[in-house]
């Protein structure tokens, strides 16, 4: 008997490439049919067959308060009634930009866009304009959205689908993209010795979440800051995932680093399409119309997305991030103990994030992440999903807790893990 998701997936594939609007959702690498989701409340999702799941994907990050948070929902409903988009300034844009600026000391000005991809694409253009240089250094396995310059050995869906680069990206574009392994300052230093005067910026996920969860080694981020500035390059922190998740002030607030530019997405939209880039006024004032670096967007700063983002970040201001981190760490430790009795496993964790690598050795970069046993991950994913635990369908993604996850949710998840066979 076909499930409704299976029926819908067949229909979807006849009209949408791969049946999905973003590749990683297709669950191809775990040989599964994606669950078509009908609704979500708090820490739970419900698929079109009304099957309930404890959700550790949280729409890939935005839903840190849980699904259908009452205050966020009310803000959206109230704002919708007044109109959804005017293509004109609205007070809400000032309010959200101010909340971001006040939460992130490195930021003096902010420009709203509609996705993380737009944010990183725009931040790179700005860095190139400000430095009059073309090259950018990114890290293998990091993902910064799907703009051409970043599709060189990227993480997330590209790693999941083993797409090293992407047809359609001209060779000359990625020639300006330099690559180094994550946590490898020596290679960064070497590249800067060779081409430092041509490098506009280093862009980095300050906590890597798109090759699975990989933490920055001691001194790595400060090293990037020092190397970039020693060569007149900018440091861009891609905080699309970590912004308002690694702490209320993101990874930069957690680690005490002062990047020149920062990119955002996900949480600042409260589940609606929003991205942003911000940083020092000396750079941001170059953005049109104040400056000459063009960047634009029909729906940028639209009231609905602003209202959802504002309700979210204002509620987050009062939330206990330390408690959420303690609960996540405790859960990750118990999950590691359960799985380690069966097979070798690593479960890195920080803030409200964790990921599962079936490998003997600690994962410090993409090469070591790739050594993880994918067949075991697929077995784990399938058996957990069959028990109503909704994990990211790739070991090159990061699991997340929300403030809505209960102790009962975590206990149920651990009980499910105890039954997994490899």
Tell whether residue 22 is a contact of ligand KE4 (CB under 6 A). yes
Tell whether residue 143 is a contact of ligand KE4 (CB under 6 A). yes
CB 93 within 8 A of CB 304: no
Beta strands in 153-301 (DSSP E): 177-181, 199-204, 234-238, 261-264, 275-279
Name the segment binding ligand KE4 (CB under 6 A); options: 41-49, 160-168, 203-211, 279-287: 203-211
Q: Which pair of structure tokens corresponds to residue 315? A: 């509620």
CB 57 within 8 A of CB 34: no
CB 31 within 8 A of CB 377: no
The catalytic residue among 176, 184, 238, 409 is: 238
Name the segment binding ligand KE4 (CB under 6 A); options: 9-17, 75-83, 202-210, 403-411: 202-210
Tell whether residue 60 is a contact of ligand KE4 (CB under 6 A). yes
Q: Which of 144, 327, 336, 376 binds ligand KE4 (CB under 6 A)?
A: 144
Tell whether residue 269 is a contact of ligand KE4 (CB under 6 A). no
Q: In 3D, which of 338, 335, 268, 321 has the Cα closest to residue 347?
A: 335
For ligand KE4 (CB under 6 A), the number of binding residues is: 22
**Nearest residue (CB) to ligand KE4, 47 versus 238:** 238
Footprint (CB under 6 A) of ligand KE4, residues 383-402: 397
Tell whether residue 262 is a contact of ligand KE4 (CB under 6 A). no
Q: Please report how close the Cβ of residue 202 comes to ligand KE4 at its closest, in angstroms.
A: 14
Q: Which pair of structure tokens corresponds to residue 238? A: 């891609």
Q: Which pair of structure tokens corresponds to residue 21? A: 């609007």
Largest CA distance in the chain: 63
Q: Please report how close the Cβ of residue 15 comes to ligand KE4 at its closest, in angstroms.
A: 19
Q: Say how far apart CA 349 and CA 355 lie, in whole Å.
A: 7
Is residue 143 annotated as part of the catalytic site, yes or no? Answer: yes
Q: Which of 184, 238, 260, 365 binds ligand KE4 (CB under 6 A)?
A: 238
Q: Please report how close the Cβ of residue 204 comes to ligand KE4 at its closest, in angstroms.
A: 10
DSSP annotation string for 295-363: ---TTTT-HHHHHHHHHHHHHHHTS-HHHHHHHHHHHHHHHHHHHHTTS--B--EETTEE--B-SSSPP
**Nearest residue (CB) to ligand KE4, 27 versus 307:** 27
User: Any idea which residue has 């009304």 for tokens?
Assistant: 50
Q: In 3D, which of 246, 245, 415 has the Cα closest to residue 335?
A: 415
Tell whether residue 265 is a contact of ligand KE4 (CB under 6 A). yes
With a CB cutoff of 8 Å and minimum separation 6, the contacts of 322 are none
Tell whether residue 62 is a contact of ligand KE4 (CB under 6 A). no
The catalytic residue among 135, 138, 266, 315 is: 266
407-418 vs 374-386: helix crossing angle, rounded to 10 = 120
Q: Please report how close the Cβ of residue 84 comes to ligand KE4 at its closest, in angstroms.
A: 19
Tell whether residue 112 is a contact of ligand KE4 (CB under 6 A). no
Tell whether residue 153 is a contact of ligand KE4 (CB under 6 A). no
Q: Say how far apart CA 94 and CA 92 lie, in whole Å.
A: 5
Q: Please report how close the Cβ of residue 418 comes to ligand KE4 at its closest, in angstroms.
A: 28
Tell whether residue 241 is a contact of ligand KE4 (CB under 6 A). yes
Tell whether residue 115 is a contact of ligand KE4 (CB under 6 A). yes
**Nearest residue (CB) to ligand KE4, 267 versus 310:** 267
Is residue 238 annotated as part of the catalytic site, yes or no? Answer: yes
3-class DSSP assignment, residue 224: helix
220-230 vs 185-195: helix crossing angle, rounded to 10 = 10
**Nearest residue (CB) to ligand KE4, 207 versus 345:** 207
Q: Say how far apart CA 179 and CA 270 lie, in whole Å.
A: 32
DSSP type of residue 162:
T
Tell whether residue 145 is a contact of ligand KE4 (CB under 6 A). yes
Q: Which of 42, 66, 149, 157 binds ligand KE4 (CB under 6 A)?
A: 157
Is residue 197 annotated as part of the catalytic site, yes or no? Answer: no
Tell whether residue 205 is a contact of ligand KE4 (CB under 6 A). yes
Q: Please report how close the Cβ of residue 341 comes to ligand KE4 at its closest, in angstroms.
A: 29
CB 143 within 8 A of CB 161: no
Q: Which of 5, 29, 117, 247 binds ligand KE4 (CB under 6 A)?
A: 117
Tell whether residue 47 is a contact of ligand KE4 (CB under 6 A). no
With a CB cutoff of 8 Å and minimum separation 6, the contacts of 258 are 105, 106, 225, 252
Active-site positions? 143, 238, 266
**Residues at the site binding ligand KE4, with contacts judged by CB under 6 A:** 22, 24-25, 60, 115-117, 120, 143-145, 156-157, 205, 209-210, 238, 240-241, 265, 275, 397
């Amino acid at each position: 008997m076909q499930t409704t998701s299976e029926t819908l997936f067949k229909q979807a594939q006849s009209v949408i490439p791969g049946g999905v609007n973003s590749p990683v959702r297709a669950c191809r690498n775990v040989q599964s049919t994606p669950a078509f989701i009908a609704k979500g409340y708090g820490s739970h999702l419900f698929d079109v067959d009304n099957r309930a799941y404890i959700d550790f994907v949280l729409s890939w990050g935005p839903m840190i308060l849980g699904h259908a948070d009452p205050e966020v929902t009310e803000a959206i409903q109230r704002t919708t009634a007044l109109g959804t988009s005017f293509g004109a300034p609205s007070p809400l844009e000032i309010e959200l930009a101010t909340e971001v600026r006040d939460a992130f000391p490195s930021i003096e000005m902010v420009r709203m866009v509609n996705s993380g991809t737009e944010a990183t694409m725009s931040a790179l253009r700005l860095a190139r304009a400000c430095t009059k240089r073309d090259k950018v250094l990114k890290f293998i396995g990091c993902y910064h959205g799907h703009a051409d310059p970043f599709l060189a050995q990227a993480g997330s869906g590209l790693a999941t689908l083993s797409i090293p680069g992407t047809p359609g990206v001209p060779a000359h574009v990625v020639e300006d993209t330099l690559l180094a392994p994550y946590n490898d300052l020596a290679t960064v230093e070497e590249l800067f010795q060779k081409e430092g005067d041509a490098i506009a910026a280093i862009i980095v996920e300050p906590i890597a979440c798109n090759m699975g969860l990989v933490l920055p080694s001691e001194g790595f981020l400060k090293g990037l800051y020092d190397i970039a500035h020693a060569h007149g390059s900018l440091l861009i922190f891609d905080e699309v995932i970590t912004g308002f998740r690694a702490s209320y002030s993101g990874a930069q607030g957690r680690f005490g680093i002062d990047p020149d530019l920062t990119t955002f997405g996900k949480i600042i939209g409260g589940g609606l399409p929003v991205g942003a880039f911000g940083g020092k006024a000396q750079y941001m004032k170059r953005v049109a119309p104040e400056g000459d670096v063009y960047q634009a967007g029909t729906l940028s700063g639209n009231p609905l997305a602003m209202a959802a983002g504002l309700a979210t970040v204002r509620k987050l201001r009062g939330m206990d991030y330390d408690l959420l981190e303690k609960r996540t760490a405790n859960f990750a430790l118990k999950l590691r103990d359960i799985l380690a009795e069966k097979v070798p496993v690593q479960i890195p964790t920080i803030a409200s994030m964790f990921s599962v690598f079936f490998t003997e050795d600690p994962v410090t970069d993409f090469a070591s992440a790739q050594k993880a046993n994918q067949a075991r991950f697929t077995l784990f994913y399938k058996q957990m999903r069959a028990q109503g635990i909704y994990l990211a369908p790739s070991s090159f993604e990061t699991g997340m807790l929300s403030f809505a996850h209960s102790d009962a949710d975590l206990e149920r998840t651990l009980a499910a893990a105890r039954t997994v066979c490899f």
